[in-house]
Amino acid sequence: MASELERAAALIREGRLVAFPTETVYGLGANALDAAAVARIFLVKGRPSTSPLIVHVASVEMARELTSEWPEAAERLAGRHWPGPLTLVVPKREHVPEAVTAGLKTVGLRMPAHPMALELIRLSGVPIAAPSANLFMQLSPTSAEHVRAGLGQAVDMILDGGSTPVGIESTVVSLVGERPLLLRTGMISREEIEELVGPVEVAGGPGEGGHAAPGMHARHYSPRTRLVLVRGAAVPAEGRGVYLAPGGRMPADAQSYAAALYATLHQLDGQGLDWIAVEEPPAQPAWEGIRDRLRRASVRA
């Protein structure tokens, strides 16, 4: 009997969709070189076709085959952080479909640090395009159960690898301009990128100036329940809600906090609360990705 992973790999090769765990969140994967399969990802998620997908690879060599140029900065960043939660945006090679890159001449690449993800890519023998395995604008899934609840029958198979250890989406850095540009922060901080490649520009997030990045929406990563960022436990006076703070109901250290964040929000979202009040985490590099996601989650439509 073929193993689950072998069945999943066969589905990928047939142009079907497989949800799989990575160290960040669960991905909704398809053969990145099959434009029709990739189109199904957008359909199932309800994701606008203007939002590029990250392509997952199992090695630096596999990444380079998808690029027309592999800058020195990419070599350094991948050398230190791959496999890991870091996506590099580089010039794409001709054969990477524009369905994947939303018409851009660049492609976002990442080698995930998760044994099931890596094995799936190796067994498939193709790069796997995968956004988070949730409906557009909803909370990212950090367990197979979250995927089932959100996408259910729309996926051909869900690989269950338990809870994802990092818990928030990858850091995204573009290497196509004069200077590296941080498009999305994550658990690998700007500081850690700068250590390797020098000064990094920062693309604008909600409430900040700067460049707009493709596929970056101010409101994103949101629970349905109103999320408010507060300081000093100043929670809303009206209605029923819960208060989340590091060291109280949430872990005190950034890594464990990130790993727990989406699962906590998924769980609270089902309780019919009027609000979730989240204490603003410290303005320190380790918390930068978490602060970004919380800011986005607190923007109302």
Spatial separation of the C-alpha atoms in residues 129 and 110, rounded to whole Å: 10
Q: Taking CB positions, which residue lies at the least distance from ligand AMP?
A: 108
83 binds, among Mg ion, ligand AMP, none (CB under 5 to 8 A by kind): none
Answer yes or no whether residue 214 interacts with ligand AMP by CB under 6 A: yes
How many CB atoms within 10 Å of residue 163?
16
Q: Which is nearer to ligand AMP, 183 or 254 (CB)?
A: 183
Answer yes or no whether residue 101 interacts with ligand AMP by CB under 6 A: yes
Among 9, 77, 88, 183, binds ligand AMP (CB under 6 A): 183
Binding mask of the shown chain, residues 124 to 143, with x at each position contacting Mg ion by CB under 5 A: -------xx-----------
Question: What are the φ/ψ torsions at residue 117 (nearest 5 degrees)?
Answer: -65, -45
Q: Which is nearer to ligand AMP, 51 or 163 (CB)?
A: 51
Tokens standing for residue 102? 């939303």
By C-alpha distance, which of 41, 294, 12 is closest to 127? Answer: 12
β-partners of residue 277 are 228, 243
Binding mask of the shown chain, residues 147 to 176, with x at each position contacting ligand AMP by CB under 6 A: ----------------------x--x-x--
Kindly give, in sequence order, each residue whose CB lies less than 8 Å from that of residue 134, ignoring residues fewer than 6 positions away. Answer: 28, 45, 140, 141, 146, 147, 150, 151
Answer yes or no whether residue 186 interacts with ligand AMP by CB under 6 A: no
Among 29, 127, 131, 223, binds ligand AMP (CB under 6 A): 131
Binding mask of the shown chain, residues 77 to 96, with x at each position contacting ligand AMP by CB under 6 A: ----------x-x-------
- Minimum gap (Å) between residue 113 Cβ and ligand AMP: 16
By C-alpha distance, which of 93, 124, 135, 116 is closest to 15? Answer: 124
Answer yes or no whether residue 213 interacts with ligand AMP by CB under 6 A: yes
Answer yes or no whether residue 116 interacts with ligand AMP by CB under 6 A: no
Spatial separation of the C-alpha atoms in residues 271 and 160, rounded to whole Å: 25
Burial grade of 72 (CB within 10 A; 0-12, 13-18, 19 or more): exposed
How many CB atoms within 10 Å of residue 277?
20
Binding site for ligand AMP (CB under 6 A): 51-54, 87, 89, 101, 104, 106-108, 131-132, 169, 172, 174, 183-184, 213-216
Write out the residues near Mg ion by the rule CB under 5 A: 131-132
